[in-house]
Amino acid sequence: MLKAKHLNWRKGIPYIHCRYPSSLSETLTEMGRSTLYRKALDVGDNPSDAEVLAALEKARETFQSLCDGLHSSNRRHLTEMQRHRAAQAFMADVNLRQGDAKTEWAAYQIMAKSDAAAGLDTEIAERVEALLVADPDDEPDALLISDAIAIYKQQQADLKYHRVLDRFLQQSGDRLLDGSINRRLHNWTQDQLKERNPATITKDLAIILSCLRGAVKARGLSIMVHKPAIKLNEAKQRVILTNQQLEELFAQDMPEYLRCAFIAALTLGAINSEIYRIDPSKVGTVDGCMVVRINQGKTKHRRRSGPLPWLVRWEAAPVSEGRLRENMTQMIRKVNPEASPYSLRHTFAHRHAVSHTPDVAQAQLAGWSSRARHSYGLGGVHYDELLRPLIPIQHSVWDWLLSPDHADNVVNLRGKA
């Protein structure tokens, strides 16, 4: 029996069997149709292979025409906007402005005298003439998602927001911003929930909604953009390492760079990317205590300094950031199979809560936002007088594990330096 792409046999009858493009799924759902397309080929009884292939090719052409027809409604709006923008680009190039002509005849005369206009597409030339006699303050009624994003980017310089919006545009496609945007937002959200964390999607939605609502308001459009409902997962108990597990972790034989990394992760709540970028040449001291500088982080509060009184030098990782994470994970899993390097940041918070460490000090050490820390002065990020009080706090919370002065200590870092 003949085999070919999109060819399916059922009880000896050849069918075309294929799936509609994913961009048409919403349209098909509205129409109550399946995303699968199957139709018997127009062939007689006992057709030859050549007849089946010819009929299959004709059926493919019919299917493509059907898809084009379903696309046409939104495509028409896109094409209209593209013509409008092309006309605007031409006018800017030849120093013409919307409303420069008082009458259609005057617009025609302007275009007739322009050598550049001779090569314009007829439909674009007609659009230019229409813009020449239009009210200078008029804007096109149609607004695309890409228009809304472009407006938002001009007002918001944070590249993180740009990446969220660009990803949304790529995944949802450029469409007319109208009442259907709420259904599209809902479908996009449901697709994202299949692979991503609800809390992360909620943050992305806040950016997307701000963008779309701002553009709608700026244009004075009567469109209500609603936030899709998201059912947040129940909060899971965060994994922390017990005192015994911490002792077992630091008792393991490990390279010095890993030991430094584990101490920073545990006593400064530092994450892998922060640890990897600590520069040994920028390590300083305060009252004889080594202080590392963390100059990069996902928020401004993550840029901080932290005293590590158990070390006399910092050894940078001689491996990639990814390999550093893998090596740390491998050693942590030996003492707690459910833990990860980030579990040390949770352990940091737990130990300081048990020790009743002031919130301001915790914020300084771990790089958390704190109104008390950041409302006055310069926040103490790199200032010795505000780092000094952190040194006794570090000793009081972690000397039981890291200090070489205790007889029952399991790690002697100074002896290794």
pLDDT tens column, 119-128: 667 777 887 8
Predicted local distance difference test score (pLDDT) of residue 416: 39
Predicted local distance difference test score (pLDDT) of residue 376: 41
Residue 358 — left, alpha, or beta (φ > 0 → left; ψ -120 to 50 → alpha)? beta
Residue 317: what are its φ and ψ, rounded to 5°?
-70, 130
Contacts of 254 (CB under 8 A, 6+ apart): 262, 331
How crowded is residue 186: how many other Cβ atoms within 10 Å of its Cβ?
A: 15
Predicted local distance difference test score (pLDDT) of residue 206: 93
Q: Quick: pLDDT tens for 369-403.
A: 764 444 344 444 456 788 899 999 999 999 999 97
Residue 35: what are its φ and ψ, rounded to 5°?
-80, -5
Predicted local distance difference test score (pLDDT) of residue 70: 54
DSSP 141-210: S--BHHHHHHHHHHH---HHHHHHHHHHHHHH-S-B-STTHHHHHHHHHHHHHTTS-HHHHHHHHHHHHH
Two tokens, residue 306: 């932290």
Predicted local distance difference test score (pLDDT) of residue 33: 66
Correct CATH for 243-416 of 1.10.3720.10, 1.10.443.10, 3.40.50.10540, 3.40.50.2300: 1.10.443.10
- In one letter, which amino acid is 275? I
Predicted local distance difference test score (pLDDT) of residue 412: 43
Enter the pTM of the model. Answer: 0.49
Domain ranges of the chain: 7-76, 145-219, 243-416
Predicted local distance difference test score (pLDDT) of residue 27: 63
Which residue has 């030996």 as its token pair? 334
Predicted local distance difference test score (pLDDT) of residue 87: 78
Nearest-CA neighbor of 248 among 337, 350, 354, 336? Answer: 336
Blockwise average pLDDT, block size 10, the chain, 417 residues: 86 88 68 77 86 88 69 53 73 79 80 69 79 73 80 86 89 78 89 85 93 89 88 71 95 95 96 93 92 79 89 94 94 94 94 93 85 42 77 94 57 40
Predicted local distance difference test score (pLDDT) of residue 59: 85
Terminus-to-terminus CA distance in the chain, angstroms? 76
Q: CA 303 to CA 162: how far, in whole Å?
A: 23
Two tokens, residue 178: 């109208």
Strand locations in 260-398, DSSP E? 284-286, 289-294, 304-307
